[in-house]
Structure formats: C-alpha cells, structure tokens
Structure 1
Amino acid sequence: MTHQPPSEQPFFSAVVVDALRPGARSAVSPGGTGKPNDRLRVIWLGRTRVPGIEAGVRLRLKGMVTRVDGLPAMFNPRYEILSRQEHL
C-alpha cells in the first residue's frame, strides 16, 4: 500500500495478487522479479485510505484495466471484501 505526502494529490494504492487463478504462483519470485500477470495495481484517487483494504484481505474488484509503469492497473474500482485474515 502507498500513501502520498500531504503536499501532493492524495491517492491510495495497493498491489493485489491473484491467488485464485489456477496455477498462480507468488507475485515475486526468489530472485525478486515479479510476474505482471499475477499482480494488479489498484489506485483510488482523492483518498488517503480505503476502509477495509489492508494486507491479507481477499477482494473482488470491478473496473476498467489499463497499464501503469508496465503493471496492469485499475483506477477507483468497485470492490467487495470477500474475507479477512484473522489476526492472532
């Protein structure tokens, strides 16, 4: 997740890993290189946080996909929280 400094336009960004796709592996390999098809950058403009969006949350997203810095990205998507990890 990324937060902008107060001097810049606010946005909230997270990279979502597709863990449900058959055959999907970790988004980052041991060598540190990511596989773009397993990741999606999600960006909410005009916000510094999005309620319920945090590490470990399973989401369903709906929106138009584009590319930002070579990574598939979705701006201001509709989202549904499917489940959360329990914190012990």
Structure 2
Amino acid sequence: MSDAPTQAGDGSRSPKSEKKLGLWARIRLFFRQIIGELKKVVTPSRKELGNLFLTVTVFVIIIMVIVSLLDALFGQLAFLIFG
C-alpha cells in the first residue's frame, strides 16, 4: 500500500479524525495554524501604505458628504411634514 493521502490529494484531515483529537491537541493545532498564517503576512512598502491611506481617506470623505447630504435632505423633509 502507498502512503499517499486517500482524500482529495491535499493531505487534509477528515472530519472524523479531527474529532479524535483531544482538547489540548486541537488548541495546539489551532495556534500552529495561526502562526503558519501569520508567517504569510507581507508588510506593505511605504509607497503602498501611502496609497492605501489616501484611498481610505478619500473614500471616507466621500461617504461623509453623501451621509451629510442625505441627513440634510431628510431633515428638511421632516421639517416640511411635521413643522
């Protein structure tokens, strides 16, 4: 027999084998997976960070203007109806 995984070829565990792990083993597995994912994180360069900051700032300002205009419109509408 071969040692190849029988599941979809990715070597992942089946749900039944996950249930066999004890509480502490599952906690250790969880933290090992977190550390593995954190190693994949890439820090943006200074230029990328500046572009992201500018993009978010412009988007927030646009949304603030839209909400302010809608607030003024609904305020005037409420004043016309109830005022």
Question: TM-score, normalised on structure 1?
Answer: 0.19
Greater radius of gyration (CA): 2
For CA contacts below 8 A with separation 6 or more, give which structure has more relative contact order: 1
